[in-house]
Amino acid sequence: MDAALGDMELLMKIRFVLTAAAAIAFTSSAMAAAPQHWSYEGAGGPTHWGELSAKFEACETGMDQSPVDLTHAVKAEPSAINFHWKKDADWTVVNNGHSIQANSDDAGYLTLDGKDYKLAQFHFHTPSEHAIDGKRFPMEVHFVNVAKDGEFAVIGAMIEGGGDNTLFDAVMDSAPAKEGGSAEIGKSDPASLLGSKDSFYRYEGSLTTPPCSQTVVWTVMKDPLKVSDAEIEKFQNLYHMNARPLQEIGRRFILEK
């Protein structure tokens, strides 16, 4: 009996050592694969993004970065966008550690200058990342549309209080408090988060988050969307500041319609 128990104990010990070794191996491989940590304040903040990874170089050296102050725009006829977004797409709201974002696999697309860009997600910043004539708004929504070649057409819209918006309520009411959390909000019309699409600014820029890729055609709507102040507060309780500072416009032109 004693001998058998001894064998059992030995087996248990071996099993424990093997499990611990596997756990360590798993942890180190997970750490190696983890994305470079970046944030909006402190050592991982925007002025350091370019130093965090070779892949983030454009954040520091790029000459066509976003966001910018939308001012001194040239009155012109920028190419129109043909929206083919689905009114009844299914959306999953996630907390990705940088913002609250709604993802969809099948939300339609838009066409700009003869090129199709698939709507992949929309997410929020506070305060607004872009400014209009020097003024920043309480929030900004970004609709990220991606072409087959990996280039982006991002639609931005300013958000302010004093109104009500059903989709905004649905996203903020279901926004997971914990990073990595997700929630289904069902079928919704993404265009209901845009006000009038008649007047907008257009310029060539970048992603406003690492890796700051300069492959974005920006369209920022002039008319702000009005939502309820309480729902803005819900977002700001999760993310009190997730906006990159304004970048130099440099040699670029801003077109205005």
- The catalytic site residues sit at 98
Residue whose CB is less far from Zn ion, 125 or 222? 125
Shortest Å distance, C-beta 212 to Zn ion: 12
The least CB distance from residue 24 to Zn ion, in Å, is 37
Least CB distance to Zn ion at residue 47 (A)? 18
Residue 142 vs 222, nearer CB to Zn ion: 142
What's the maximum distance between 2 C-alpha atoms anywhere in the chain?
92
Given the complex with Zn ion, which of 142 and 202 has the nearer CB atom?
A: 142
CB 159 within 8 A of CB 227: yes
Q: Restricting to residues 67-126, name those near Zn ion by CB under 5 A.
A: none
Q: What distance in Å separates the CA atoms of residue 205 and residue 148, rounded to the nearest whole number?
A: 18
Closer of 165 and 209 to Zn ion (Cβ) = 209
Residue 101 CB, nearest distance to Zn ion (Å)?
9
Based on C-alpha coordinates, what's the Rg of the chain?
Answer: 23
* Distance of alpha carbon 212 from alpha carbon 205, whole angstroms: 9
Q: Total residues contacting Zn ion (rule CB under 5 A)? A: 1
Shortest distance in whole angstroms from residue 198 CB to Zn ion = 23
Measured at the alpha carbon of residue 255, what is the angle toward residues 253 and 256, in degrees to the nearest 5? 150
Q: H or E segment at 81?
A: strand 81-85
- Spatial contact of 95 and 178, defined as CB atoms under 8 Å apart: yes
Nearer CB in complex with Zn ion: 140/256: 140
As a whole number of angstroms, the distance between CA 67 and CA 129 comes to 6
Cβ(239)–Cβ(99) below 8 Å:
yes
Q: How many CA atoms lie within 13 A of 214 on its CB side?
A: 13
Instruction: Answer yes or no whether residue 130 interacts with Zn ion by CB under 5 A.
Output: no
Ranked by CB distance to Zn ion, the top (closest) residue is 142
d(CA 172, CA 233): 9
What residues numbered 132-191 form the site for Zn ion, per CB under 5 A?
Answer: 142
* Site residues (vs Zn ion, CB under 5 A): 142
